[in-house]
Structure 1
Amino acid sequence: MEVKEKKKKNAESVAEKTYQNQQLIVFRLGQEEYALHIDQVKEVVITPHITRMPQTPSFVRGVANIRGNIIAIIDLEEKFGLSVGLEEPSKQANNFTLVIESEEFKIGVLVKEVPNTLSISEADIEETSNVIHEAGVESGYIKGVAKSGDRLIILIDILKIMSEKEFDMLTRKQALA
């Protein structure tokens, strides 16, 4: 009987070890916490002066010079419609910028507080398809909801937040700046 219990415990511990930890960058938008996979964030900088670009969507705050690179700065609170009822966006103290870089583009994402890192098990991330069932909800950029104690953190894929048309428009505007 003791051998069966040991085998059962070994099987349980092997099952637990198959989950890998995810490294996330956690930040606040509106009243909720959001996270990006750490691989999507190149660096966090103090937000430099932003120059407004004409004929851009309201969530595009403009462009900024970050380490010699002119990049588009976006406001996810505005993009997600979370700034409704809050302070005027121009008066908000967006103090930090997450610099996101892929092979095709570089963008900055405004955040109000210093983002922090969180290591979380894949077992603690609930897939979006299990949470959001509304077909009309545009949730392709929401990868899931991470559970950390009492906290629920919305895990997003920054590369899917904007449409291809929006990315094309941003890269063209950056080339002109």
Structure 2
Amino acid sequence: MSETDNNFAKKQYITFSLGQERYGIELKEGKEILLPPEITRVPHTPKYVKGVINLRGGVITVLDFKDILGIDNDAIYNEEDKRIIITNIAGIVSGFMVDQMQGILTFSSEDIETENKNEMNSEFIKGIYTEGSEVIPIIDLKRLISSRKEAI
């Protein structure tokens, strides 16, 4: 593979903190990043549904990545650091609450290790990217959304 081909295969990933860990999703999956507006709780919904927000006249369901992925809420973040990542996966627009935005990384999908992803104990992890000594699980949003359609 030539260097040009290798550069073409690189993708960008949004990285963010959930608890004490850093996670990522493909940049193309994230449409917008918001400061959390007022979230209206919806009765009789699963714990991972934070509620709904009004985004330019549209109602968007906000989900909590930590509850979906089974992450302990032991890290302390300022409420001002929290963000909602708006996604549009297969026509389903939803928002995901994260503790803190970390930045954008660029790497090839070949750099994502898929063999040890089961160690992450989540069916929603597509693979693991390693940056130095840090392990960054990459979330499979398509799988996550398709499994949670009824709540969205």
Which TM class, normalised by the smaller chain length? 0.7 to 0.9
Aligned partner of residue 28 in structure 2, secondary structure? helix
Which has the larger displacement, 97-106 or 23-32?
97-106
Change (3 A) 1:133 1:26: closer
TM superposition shift of 1:38:
0.9
1:102 aligns with 2:89: yes
Residue 82 of structure 1 aligns with an amino acid whose one-letter code is I
Which residue pairs with 2:49 in the alignment?
Answer: 60
1:111 aligns with 2:108: no
TM superposition shift of 1:156:
1.0
Please provide the CA RMSD for this pair. 2.4
Unaligned segments of structure 2, at least 5 residues: none
Residue 79 of structure 1 aligns with an amino acid whose one-letter code is I
Note the 1:129-168 alignment, pairs <5 A: 130-132=115-117, 138-139=122-123, 141-164=124-147, 166-168=148-150
What CA distance in whole angstroms lies between the structure 2 residues aligned with 1:111 and 1:69?
A: 21
Structure 1 residues 71-114: Cα deviation after superposition (integer angstroms, max 9, x where no partner): 00011111222135567xxx972621000113431110011213
More strand by share: 2
Percentage identity across paired residues of the two chains: 29
1:45 aligns with 2:34: yes
Contact kept? 1:124, 1:148, Cα under 8 Å: no
What is the TM-score of this pair, normalised by structure 1? 0.72
What CA distance in whole angstroms lies between the structure 1 residues aligned with 2:130 and 2:43?
A: 40
1:79 aligns with 2:62: no
Unaligned segments of structure 1, at least 5 residues: 1-13, 171-177
What is the TM-score of this pair, normalised by structure 2? 0.83
What CA distance in whole angstroms lies between the structure 1 residues aligned with 2:22 and 2:75?
A: 16
What CA distance in whole angstroms lies between the structure 2 residues aligned with 1:86 and 1:147?
A: 22
What CA distance in whole angstroms lies between the structure 2 residues aligned with 1:123 and 1:162?
A: 24
Which residue pairs with 1:5 in the alignment?
Answer: none
Change (3 A) 1:68 1:169: same
More helix by share: 1
Aligned partner of residue 79 in structure 1, secondary structure? helix
Structure with bigger gyration radius:
1
